[in-house]
Amino acid sequence: MTTVSATYAKASAGKLEVVFRADFGSVTTTDAGFPGQTGQSNVVLRCRVLDQGGAEIGVTYIRSADPSAHMLLAYPGGNVSWTVEMSDVYHTVGGIGTVWANSPKATCILIKA
């Protein structure tokens, strides 16, 4: 399931910094007769940049313990269309409860050549 997906296209070439972040959280309990549960939970999101043909240019991951990441890519300019996306890879719940990734964001910053 894709959480965030957007297209980036600009006339100028340069280094493209793509920053990914989300607010992670969980509410869990181990009180309902589940011995051995630690109560620790995690959400992992895959963050990718794809070229206009759909081939992966870059990939990184963010998770509850590391809620942001970035990559620096050589953008060719010429209004070449790249897709920036974040998707759920997996989540774990230690005990009974819920986990989440709120407000996922991908920011693109072009540093002109």
The domain segmentation of the chain, as residue ranges, is 2-30+40-112
Q: Of all residues in the chain, what percent carry a pLDDT higher than 90? A: 58
pLDDT tens digits for range 74-85: 999 999 999 999
pLDDT tens digits for range 23-70: 888 776 656 555 545 557 788 999 999 999 999 999 999 998 899 999
Identify whether the C-beta of residue 65 lies closer than 8 Å to the C-beta of residue 26: no
In terms of Cα–Cα distance, which of 84, 23, 82 is closest to 59?
Answer: 84
The CATH number fitting domain 2-30+40-112, selected from 2.40.10, 3.40.91, 2.60.120, 3.30.70: 2.60.120
Phi, psi of 38 (to 5 degrees): -90, -20
Confidence (pTM): 0.83
